[in-house]
């Protein structure tokens, strides 16, 4: 009887240890399942359980992804928090995913943009109704514009590309000089440029195509594009990507690949010109607006606005960089701002009216 009591006491004293062992085993199993990639999924660095892959804090994510592609290939995966992402890091894989299989990657991950759009639409409809009811105190144009502007303040637009264009033309005065000569030869100094002038100006159609495309390539203001979501199970680069997986495509790596563009770190519109001075029919590896059926619909508008803006500006003014620039004196040698978009660092220009 005494022995039985001793045995029971020993069993009870071991219960906490057994619970700890069971808990440790359970945590280990959960950790393994949390970091385990699905069968046939693209490879990548091992994530930290529950946290995922923590990107470097001293450089932009698109640079880190370019480095990882050297180890894991042009299609690899990362985990951020509880969610897996697949990264397409070359023109060939981006084209395979976005253009060859456009319907498979036609979806976008759910964000709050739809709710924002619905809100803006509701405000506009309410303003219209209030105007009919003579309730002018409800919403003024200023109110609606402020909501629209604040809702899309983080979006990437013409402003960022214009900043890059100003910096590039001031840093490369020989490009600016050639453009100006053609503007003055074809348009003159007094008549305002129009979109009809593009076809009559090989080199400023060079502005329209060669220079603008090189600005868009070099600026790469949306380096990771707009995320996509797999609409169905799909295979890219030989890897299985399950339905619902978020896809990021590294436009920056495509634009700054020496395989695609010789001396890619240099601003050179000549790369888009044939030997006779005509513009390539399609500089298809410049993809700032994405590819496939989800390609940004504003790309024609953006190119036209950039053509008109810089033709007007250079017709009457000269851009020069001032001494005492931050960093090493180059307008382009400074690290661009981090975040979802790629901006040039602050720079100083001198704008001089032409005689």
pLDDT at position 42: 96
Measured on CA atoms in the order 119, 121, 127, 129, is the torsion positive or negative?
negative
pLDDT digits (tens, 9 = 90+) for 128-141: 555 555 444 444 44
pLDDT at position 6: 40
pLDDT digits (tens, 9 = 90+) for 169-188: 999 999 999 899 888 888 89
Partner residues linked to 249 by β-bridges: 88
Nearest to 250, CA basis, from 125, 126, 140, 88: 88
Which has the higher per-residue pLDDT, 145 or 296? Answer: 296
Distances in Å between the Cα of 88 and the Cα atoms of 22, 138, 225, 250, 294 are 41, 48, 11, 6, 16
Distance CA 309, CA 169 (A): 13
| Reported confidence tier of residue 258, pLDDT bands at 50, 70, 90 | very high
pLDDT exceeds 70 at position 267: yes
CA atoms within 13 A on the CB side of 90: 16
pLDDT at position 21: 59
Mean pLDDT of the chain: 77
pLDDT exceeds 90 at position 317: yes
Nearest to 156, CA basis, from 348, 342, 351: 342
pLDDT at position 301: 80
pLDDT at position 4: 40
Distance CA 112, CA 118 (A): 10
pLDDT exceeds 80 at position 195: yes
| Reported confidence tier of residue 153, pLDDT bands at 50, 70, 90 | very low
pLDDT at position 81: 84
Which has the higher per-residue pLDDT, 178 or 118? Answer: 178
pLDDT digits (tens, 9 = 90+) for 56-113: 777 888 999 999 999 999 999 999 888 899 999 999 999 998 877 767 776 767 544 4
Which has the higher per-residue pLDDT, 148 or 245? Answer: 245
Distance CA 219, CA 252 (A): 9
pLDDT digits (tens, 9 = 90+) for 13-51: 565 666 665 555 554 444 454 568 888 999 999 988 878
- What percent of the chain is predicted at pLDDT more than 90? 32
Distance CA 82, CA 16 (A): 31
Quick one: average pLDDT of 251-269? Answer: 94
Distance CA 24, CA 41 (A): 28
| Reported confidence tier of residue 124, pLDDT bands at 50, 70, 90 | low
pTM: 0.75
pLDDT exceeds 60 at position 234: yes
pLDDT exceeds 60 at position 114: no
pLDDT at position 250: 96
Is 245 in contact with 198 (CB distance < 8 Å)? no
pLDDT exceeds 80 at position 337: no
Q: If you write DSSP's letter for every residue of 139-192 in order, what string do you get?
A: --HHHHHHHHHHHTTTS--HHHHHHHHHHHHHH-HHHHHHHHHHHHHHT-SSSP
């Amino acid at each position: 009887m005494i022995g039985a009591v001793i045995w029971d006491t020993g069993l009870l004293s071991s219960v906490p240890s057994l619970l700890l062992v069971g808990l440790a085993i359970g945590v280990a199993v959960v950790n393994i399942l949390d970091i385990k990639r699905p069968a046939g999924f693209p490879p990548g660095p091992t994530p930290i359980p529950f946290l995922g892959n923590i990107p470097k804090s001293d450089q932009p994510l698109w640079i880190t992804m370019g480095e990882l592609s050297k180890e894991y290939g042009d299609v690899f995966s990362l985990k951020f928090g509880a969610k897996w992402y697949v990264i397409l890091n070359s023109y060939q894989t981006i084209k395979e995913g976005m253009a060859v299989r456009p319907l498979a990657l036609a979806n976008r991950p759910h964000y709050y943009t739809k709710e924002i759009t619905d809100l803006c639409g509701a405000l506009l409809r309410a303003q219209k109704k209030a105007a009919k009811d003579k309730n002018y105190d409800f919403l003024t144009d200023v109110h609606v514009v402020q909501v629209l502007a604040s809702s899309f303040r983080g979006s990437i637009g013409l402003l960022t590309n214009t900043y890059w264009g100003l910096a590039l033309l001031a840093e490369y005065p020989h490009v600016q000089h050639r453009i100006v000569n053609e503007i003055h030869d074809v348009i003159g100094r007094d008549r305002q440029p129009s979109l009809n002038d593009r076809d009559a100006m090989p080199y400023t159609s060079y502005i329209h195509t060669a220079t603008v495309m090189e600005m868009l390539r070099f600026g790469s203001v949306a380096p990771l594009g707009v995320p996509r979501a797999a609409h169905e199970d799909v295979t890219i680069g030989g890897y299985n990507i399950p339905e619902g997986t978020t896809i990021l495509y590294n436009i920056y790596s495509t634009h700054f690949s020496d395989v695609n563009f010789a001396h890619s770190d240099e601003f050179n519109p000549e790369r888009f010109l044939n030997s006779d001075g005509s513009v390539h029919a399609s500089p298809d590896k410049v993809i700032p607006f994405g590819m496939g059926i989800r390609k940004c619909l504003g790309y024609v508008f953006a190119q036209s606005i950039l053509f008109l803006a810089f033709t007007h500006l250079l017709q009457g003014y000269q851009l020069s960089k001032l001494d005492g620039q931050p960093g090493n004196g180059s307008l382009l040698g400074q690290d661009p701002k981090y975040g979802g978009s790629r901006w040039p660092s602050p720079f100083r220009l001198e704008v001089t009216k032409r005689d």
